[in-house]
Structure 1
Amino acid sequence: MKNYKISAIATTKIPPERIFAVLDDFGSWPTWMPSFERVKVDLPTNPVPHLNYQFRLRGSVVYADMQVIEYTALSRATSFRINVPPLTGVNRCSIRPLSQGRYRIDRIDTIDLPKVVVGVLDATQRARFSRLAQEFLTALLRTAEMRG
C-alpha cells in the first residue's frame, strides 16, 4: 500500500467554531459539499459529533463508513472505508490562528492505495483531486460565512 496525499489551503477571518459547526453537521454535507448532491448520510440516533462518532455516506452503489478520529478545538479528522473500490484513508481539516484575526485552514486527505493504482493516477487526475480539495474548502468557508 502507498499513501496518496491531497492537500488544499485557504485563509479566512471566519473563526474556527463557525467553520467546524458546518463541518460537524454531517447530515447537511450534501447541501454544500461539491459532488455530494446524490449522497445520502446515515447518522446514528445521537447526531452530536464526538471522538469515535460513526456514520455512513451512501451513493447508489458505493458507500463509505466514516469515523471521527480527531476532534479538537482546531482540528477534525475522519477515517473512511469505501466499499467500491475498496479504499481507506483519512480526511483532516486543521485551523491555525494567524495575525490580525485571520486563520489558515488546511485540508489534507490521505488515501491508502495499492501501488499499482498509484502508478495509474496521472498528472491530470492528481490535478483534479487537488482542485476538488480546493473547491471543498471554498464551499466550506462560503457556507460558514452564510450561516454566520
Structure 2
Amino acid sequence: MIRYEIAATTVTTAPPERVFAVLDDFSNWPRWMPSLERVRIELPPNDHPRQGYRFKLHGMFVHAEMEVIDYTPLSRATRFRISFPPFQGINRCRLVPLDDGRYRIERLDQLELPDLVAHVIDATQRKRFEQLALEFLHALRRVVEQTPNGTITSSSPTGQSD
C-alpha cells in the first residue's frame, strides 16, 4: 500500500456555518463540485449528516462508499472507498479563523493506493489530483460567497428543480 497526501488552501469571507451548509448538502455536490456532474448520490432516508453518517456515490464506471468521520464546528472529514481504480482515503476540510474575520479553508486528501494502482498513477495523474483539490476549493469558495445562506439554487443536472 502506498500513501500520499494532497493539500490545498484558499481564503474565504464566508463563515463556517455557510461553508459547512454547502459541504454537508451531499445531494447538491454535483451542482458545484468539479468532476461530479454525472454522479448520482445515494443518501440514507430520514437521516442527517453527522459523525458516522454513510452515503454512496454512483458514476458510470466508479462507485464510492463514503462515511463522515469528523463533524465539528470547524472541520469535516469523510473516509471513502473507490471501486475503480480501487483505492481509499480521507478527504478533510478544516476552517482556520484569521485575524481579519476571514477563514482559511484547508483541504487535505490522504490517499491509500494498492501498489499496482500507485505504479499506474504517474506524476501526471498526481498533478491532476492536486488540480482537482484546487478546483474544489475555488468552486466551494465561489458558492459560499455568492449565496447568503449557503444553498445551491441552480437546477439539477436532469433539468429538474429540487
Instruction: Name the TM tier (shorter chain).
Output: over 0.9
TM-score, normalised by the number of residues in structure 2: 0.86
TM-score, normalised by the number of residues in structure 1: 0.94
Structure 2: gaps spanning 5 or more residues: 149-162
| 2:152 counterpart residue number | none
CA deviation after TM superposition for structure 1 residue 30, in Å: 0.4
| 1:38 counterpart residue number | 38
Q: 2:80 matched to 1:83?
A: no
In the TM superposition, what are the counterparts of 1:29-68 in structure 2 within 5 Å? Answer: 29-68=29-68
Distance 1:106 1:63, change over 3 A: same
State the secondary structure of the residue aligned to 1:7.
Answer: strand
Question: Which consecutive segments of 4 or more residues in structure 1 shift more than 3 A?
Answer: none
Measured in 1, the distance between the counterparts of 2:132 and 2:62 equals 19
| 1:140 counterpart residue number | 140
CA deviation after TM superposition for structure 1 residue 125, in Å: 1.8
| 1:6 counterpart residue number | 6
Supply the AA of the counterpart residue of 1:118: A
Q: Which moved more, 1:22-31 or 1:1-10?
A: 1-10
In the TM superposition, what are the counterparts of 1:20-35 in structure 2 within 5 Å? Answer: 20-35=20-35
Contact in 2 for aligned 1:4/1:118 (Cα 8 Å): no
Measured in 2, the distance between the counterparts of 1:65 and 1:120 equals 23
State the secondary structure of the residue aligned to 2:140.
Answer: helix
CA deviation after TM superposition for structure 1 residue 47, in Å: 4.0
In the TM superposition, what are the counterparts of 1:96-111 in structure 2 within 5 Å? Answer: 96-111=96-111
User: Pairwise CA RMSD of aligned residues?
Assistant: 1.2
Supply the AA of the counterpart residue of 2:20: F
Measured in 1, the distance between the counterparts of 2:83 and 2:118 equals 18
CA deviation after TM superposition for structure 1 residue 144, in Å: 1.0
Supply the AA of the counterpart residue of 2:44: P
